[in-house]
Amino acid sequence: MSIVKSFSVGDGDMFYIKHGTDNFTIIDCCMEEAYREEVVSELKRESADKSVKRFISTHPDDDHIHGLEYLDDKMKLLNFYCVQNEATKEECTDDFDRYCSLRDSDKAFFLYAGCTRKWMNKSDEGEHGSSGINILWPERTNEYYKAALKAAKEGEDQNNISPIIEYRINGGATILWMGDVESDFMENIEDDLTLPAVDILFAPHHGRDSGKIPQSLLDQMSPKIIVIGEATSRHLNYYDGFNTITQNSAGDITFECIGKLVHIYVSNYSYEVDFLEDHSCEDTHGYYIGTLEI
């Protein structure tokens, strides 16, 4: 069994994966002061029995690193994953300074398409096992990606340096994160991008129209569920024709992955959808709204 949780953090992203192996992964960080202690307490509790812990940063926009200094101080991040970059900002924050410190330290591992690392996607003869995480993008030789790195170095837009992250559970669900890549960037790189069939897709750029996935890539992935983030409603694309969970309404979303079943829970007890099967699960991770059968 593994648990994937998407925190409801407002206009930002924060996730964790409690793997079925001896791994625990945090993806991005967005914590307001009012609830950061509660979130970190949950992260500590859920990762307590895991030896291999990693933090993946998709990119250093504030809504993806807000609270990073606090998180690092409390959890002592030893494995910091990001794309290799020289991003700068005209106005630095303590969180961005901490991002740069981790990025430029010996704790950093740089992500690119097809990269391998022990326990991320390579097992050994020990007890830790593989986390099932694979990186599908960036292709570091792609000219559009190199232009995105240059823009980030010059203190401009940083969305398009985001990696594409696949979490594949052996015999179970495939889940995909795309950071904040934008529509025009995806259109430019789609000839260099091959994506798998996906069960759960977290819509890029919080589900905004500016991050709408081109139809050709949606056809490749054929996602069974698209999770739409917490951008302002007027900026969202609701992906007509697809089954969706909207975090603005659902609150925290927890996916309990057991074999070919994904039991789904939310924190808003009045939220419901009509496309899931009812396996009559108890409300162990919030309010049970149904089960996706893979």
Based on the number of CB atoms within 10 Å of its own CB, is 49 exposed (0-12), middle (13-18) or buried (19 or more)?
exposed
What is residue 71's predicted lDDT score, i.e. its pLDDT?
A: 98
Determine the residue type at 219: D
- At residue 8, the pLDDT reads 96
Average per-residue pLDDT for the chain: 96
Question: Tell me, what's the pLDDT at 253?
Answer: 98
Q: Could you say which DSSP state residue 212 is in?
A: P
Given the structure tokens 């074999």, which residue do they identify?
259
Q: What tens digit of pLDDT does each residue of 232-261 get?
A: 778 888 999 999 999 999 999 999 999 999
**What residue has token string 């069960």?**
199
User: What is the distance between the alpha carbons of residues 42 and 57, in angstroms, rounded to a whole number?
Assistant: 19
Residue 69: predicted pLDDT:
98
* pLDDT tens, residue by residue, 199-216: 999 999 988 899 999 999
**What span, in angstroms and rounded, lies between the C-alpha atoms of 282 and 279?**
9
Q: What are phi and psi of 285, to 5 degrees?
A: -125, 30
pLDDT at res. 211: 92
* Strand positions, DSSP E, 65-202: 66, 80-82, 108-110, 133-137, 164-168, 174-177, 200-202
Please, which pLDDT band fits residue 90 given cuts at 50, 70 and 90? very high
Q: The whole model's pTM is what?
A: 0.97
**What's the domain count of the chain?**
1
The pLDDT, as a whole number, for residue 87 is: 98
Q: Are 291 and 261 in contact (CB under 8 A)?
A: yes
Q: Range of 61's domain?
A: 2-293
CATH number at residue 239: 3.60.15.10
pLDDT at 236 (0 to 100): 81
pLDDT for position 134: 98
| Spatial CB neighbours of 58, under 8 Å, sequence gap ≥ 6 | 13, 27, 28, 64, 82, 162, 163, 165, 177, 179, 180
Give phi and psi for 122, each to the nearest 5. -125, 130
